[in-house]
Structure 1
């Protein structure tokens, strides 16, 4: 559709359009400069008019049903797109970190290259400077609101993937003496700079839209799917060669989506293979294929006519609550169950040159700062939590119940695993607790040896002395474990 002389989301008269449709392009192919302002002022039979881009997204792509209770039929076009997406994920990850390394060389820098092209083009548009000034000008009254800081904290956790295991899983392929602390700092700074850079690209476009429509930038509030599939295509339709800019933009979205999937998907497959090394660990390609097929099937509910309702409920209840809660328990487990002192000793073993004063600062943050911040943010989130809405649609009670079941299901495995471990371990209660909170070196060494080949592919370097010693220790460790 992007390559058509007249993109279908720019004009009215299609089978999915209503009488209140406002075209972006007129019949003769010229831009309707008053389209967005007419949307604000016009109504048809008491119903607000919609831009052609909005109707294309709502009534054609989504074919949105009446509400949460009405699933509707499956959209075969979306099902085909989802299947292609999971096929790309399988191709990129079927050979482990070796194949993902090759894919990342393309999927990581390409979105920023395309985003830079879009940023340069958008910065030449009228009104783009107003959007940038709105972006960089602090709202001092807004900064006084605790809700702004809470949402910023949640975004930071969500953006970095804290609590999801992706960073930990990919970090397990590092060398034993790798500078993990420096890498953590680099990742955090790079994530911050990438978000700021994407913000410039976004607000240059929003500034242009404000200029074209005659409304302030602050009133253009599309976000999430609406921002991607309504605002951006609308803006691209107003540019010369709209087909080119639309293709570049959606190519950027595809690369970002596939790249973001790598970490979460690798966490799942690596966890299964490490948990059952004798069975699943020997068939990693089949595990990857099964996980892709399973993900494809689970995603079918989101591409029905009611899929947008289900998607928003899952996103609303899992992102804000799940990330913070899991991170809170991870911090408690490391700092207070396993012990911050033991963790510092492990870090010192891997990074002997790390100053002790740095470890003291980290230990203080692990034990006190992180749990307190997570607990405060989680408490405020629960206190101020509101059910989701979609445009003017309010979700029924059944949707909220499903959402809370999802949020509870994300956290429930943590206490369930603790109770299971205490009941299946021998000894007194204190002995069981100490046994469960101790590091199992046999599992660590087994994982290190199983991944030797993948590590060598990943870094193009031979294993260092410590890692070779671990592999040589393997029989002795297992002998001690049997004894």
Structure 2
């Protein structure tokens, strides 16, 4: 009867080729943060000097955790939750916490794509609507900087606003006075949100079979757009000034703890660490894939893309500062302010502005689309691997679950496309998906795998899969540098916490801050909460329960190569390397290796 059920389950699947895996990971880790976050952080935190803390954390946290998560997925061939069942059951809460953070991210991240799609539609207008002050939504304080007012003195007229800001706040968002005033739904953004959700659904609905094909376009075309914008930006007057502001080193900034904090946060955001994304994507690889080499090159690609994007962004901002005859700090923005105010304002001042606006927003949409549907695929894979008997049966049960998941996230997103939606969006973005949560996950991830599962076992399985033993520096990072750096950064992020504000003037009510902390706490509490629950509800003495939760599953305690040795097969009667060793459930992997070696 069991065999009959097994036959009815659909295959989990693999990437059709190496290129699909590389493009899927590249599309996920190279996202909006590379374009609108890294360049601003570099400029704000010492220019070229910012690369010092950035590279320090790349070496101590970024690359080691990138490889660690990939190894976990490729070895177990499981999702972000069930991989912990097999490697270190005590860390099961890490898997659940990561998926909850991804769930929150899916709800708010796609709203950015809806905004970008709306801007793309407006980019085909005969005249860009954010380029002048002759529209119904403009106020008497609006200033058209693309016409005769290019040299307008902003410092003397503090009440004045640009046409791009008024288009963003008054036309697109129609933003209310505060989070208490939700207002009506912005129907244009809602229609764009529906369109983006439909696109994401069909990118993911067949699992890696569809995701692997879509990334050939979504992961490569943004680089074409970025190259076009880079070349155009560097040929504009004032570009040199912008690039100098971007990279001019200020070593004194390195003495400020906040600079180091923002460097490590950027690493965790841009490398997609801690939430299980790399584990799931790696789980669709062949067992013998050389993940050591893949991870190194993908990390290099990510960092290089961030640097190149900085040249594209700041050459354009330098041009805008040159045209307005103002310091570049007046026009420099980060996040949505860059994508929907500063950059649109810059292209409005260029010849053929519609062309450059279309290129920019296509790049933004494709960069975000990659990240969005990969996050969806990660959650779906993790849940499917958790309930394979229910969701891998033929008949479209996975597709139905995906549809329900999209509808739930869409329903929450509707609140973010109201007149007060920007305030709700910021609450989720600042608290649910922030660096503090990711750092908390990283501390327990590195402790669970570096100390409980053990670096020796990690080295064994990495060598078994790739035929190459990882560099000794990874042993030091997995066991010492990564958990220490993550823990110190986590503590500093709590100490340096600054309450969320909007546009530097709007202070949220107390209940909004409480709600934000509750959302943030909802994910991190799963890690100690589930570990404690397993300890309390397990069988045997406390020591036996703890030992059981720290012991890998029997069928993964030894590497597959070792299981195929004749002496192991004679001991267990296992002739295909698939059955477990019979040395007891509570022996550690190291003890089992010693038993095998003694034979």
Write out per-residue CA displacement over residues 127-186 of structure 1, whole angstroms, 9 at most, x where no aligned residue.
001111222221112122221111011101110000121111101111212211222211
1:323-402 alignment to 2 at 5 Å?
A: 323-354=438-469, 358=471, 360-391=472-503, 392-402=505-515
1:112 equivalent among 211, 217, 223? 223
RMSD, aligned CA = 2.4
1:307 aligns with 2:421: yes
Question: How far apart are the structure 2 equivalents of 1:437 and 1:152?
Answer: 33
Write out per-residue CA displacement over residues 200-235 of structure 1, whole angstroms, 9 at most, x where no aligned residue.
001101100110111122332321111100111111
Tell me: CA distance 1:442–1:220, structure 2 relative to 1, closer, same or farther (3 Å): same
Cα deviation for residue 101 of structure 1 reads 1.3
Question: How far apart are the structure 2 equivalents of 1:314 and 1:32?
Answer: 41
TM-score (norm 2): 0.70
Structure 2 equivalent of residue 420 of structure 1: 533
Write out per-residue CA displacement over residues 225-273 of structure 1, whole angstroms, 9 at most, x where no aligned residue.
1110011111111111111111111111110110111332111000110
Structure 2 equivalent of residue 457 of structure 1: none
Question: How far apart are the structure 2 equivalents of 1:425 and 1:4?
Answer: 65
Structure 1 equivalent of residue 522 of structure 2: 409
Is the Cα–Cα contact under 8 Å of residues 24 and 237 in structure 1 kept in the other structure? Answer: no
Structure 2 residue matching 1:156: 3-state secondary structure: helix
Write out per-residue CA displacement over residues 57-96 of structure 1, whole angstroms, 9 at most, x where no aligned residue.
0011111111122222211111111111111111111111
Is the Cα–Cα contact under 8 Å of residues 22 and 38 in structure 1 kept in the other structure? Answer: no
1:147 aligns with 2:258: yes
Write out per-residue CA displacement over residues 414-438 of structure 1, whole angstroms, 9 at most, x where no aligned residue.
1121122223321111211222222
TM-score (norm 1): 0.87
Question: How far apart are the structure 2 equivalents of 1:40 and 1:254?
Answer: 34
1:34 aligns with 2:150: yes
Tell me: CA distance 1:479–1:103, structure 2 relative to 1, closer, same or farther (3 Å): farther
Structure 1 equivalent of residue 409 of structure 2: 295
Cα deviation for residue 478 of structure 1 reads 12
Structure 2 unaligned runs (5+)?
A: 1-121, 559-573, 586-599
1:184 aligns with 2:295: yes
Tell me: CA distance 1:354–1:134, structure 2 relative to 1, closer, same or farther (3 Å): same
2:136 equivalent among 8, 12, 15? 15
Tell me: CA distance 1:384–1:179, structure 2 relative to 1, closer, same or farther (3 Å): same
Cα deviation for residue 288 of structure 1 reads 2.2
Tell me: CA distance 1:70–1:439, structure 2 relative to 1, closer, same or farther (3 Å): same
Question: How far apart are the structure 1 equivalents of 2:551 and 2:317?
Answer: 53
**More RCO (CA 8 Å, sep 6+):** 2
Structure 1 equivalent of residue 390 of structure 2: 279
Is the Cα–Cα contact under 8 Å of residues 336 and 367 in structure 1 kept in the other structure? Answer: yes
How many residues are matched?
Answer: 444
Is the Cα–Cα contact under 8 Å of residues 242 and 328 in structure 2 kept in the other structure? Answer: yes
Is the Cα–Cα contact under 8 Å of residues 218 and 367 in structure 2 kept in the other structure? Answer: yes
Is the Cα–Cα contact under 8 Å of residues 462 and 468 in structure 2 kept in the other structure? Answer: no
Is the Cα–Cα contact under 8 Å of residues 22 and 39 in structure 1 kept in the other structure? Answer: no
